[in-house]
Structure 1
Amino acid sequence: MTVELRPAINEDAPDVATVLIASRDAFLPYAPMAHTVPEIRTWVRDVLLPSGHVTVACEGAQIVGVLATARQDDAAWIEQLYLLPGWTGQGIGARLLAHALATLPRPIRLYTFQANEGARAFYERHGFEALAHSDGAGNEERCPDVLYELR
């Protein structure tokens, strides 16, 4: 298996959306989708990819992972890090995260759901520390979350 990382291009929009949707369906059943599938596909095409801060992990022509980052005020953010179901546990998420850590200034922050124990353990293994827990009132899914930071 040879997974390559590259910047996402506009033509990747359908596949990027598929990764986000399939991953959410498989790994986050406790977090209701805040948007319909067509709305997510439109957002990926019209907002996420034009931001220019999306990296995809590809096995051949297939996009198997997505990383989206941003810089806001005093921190950089990991906004999306998702893998297609069936592609976890192979080091792809770690490669995408390493790419983010190598290209973003510190501190780097992210949110994940409190119930997402796998993601929490993953980020903690990579040095992220929990800064705050919330009841979810501030996110679209209304699911309790955790704010993490890497200094």
Structure 2
Amino acid sequence: MVKVESFELDHRKVKAPYVRKCGTQKGRLGDIISKFDLRFVQPNKGAMEISGVHTLEHLLAGFMREKLEDIIDISPMGCRTGFYMTVWEDVEAEKVIEALNYALKKILEVEEIPAANEIQCGNYKDHSLKLAKEYAAKGLEEGFSSEVFR
């Protein structure tokens, strides 16, 4: 099996919540992408409910792009402790934290979930705005750090 960067991280030593820059890659044509770990929950100590993760995914997709226009993708982690995000260019974690805090504050204000319908979503019945707001509030209260091993 090919070496996978996230499998090299000692999940027992990290301190969530955090934003970790996993690294940058340069494409064949010279394009640069940066990958980030947006960790909401301490690994192996808890997990977010899937309906809340799904709703956070929808909300972060729009609100994060209001501050970071070069986002390629934001995807939930299978372990349900956070999200992976990829962006064009070499972006620093502090800039991502700024955009994440902005997005989480906006999430606390919303009344409906964007694209939560049969046409735009592959599992539109499995959402929880209540949980998404709880996760957003908790993240803002605890504060995201770029120091992964505090």
The two structures have a TM-score, normalised by structure 2, of 0.27
Larger RCO (CA under 8 A, 6+ residues apart): 2
| Greater share of strand | 1
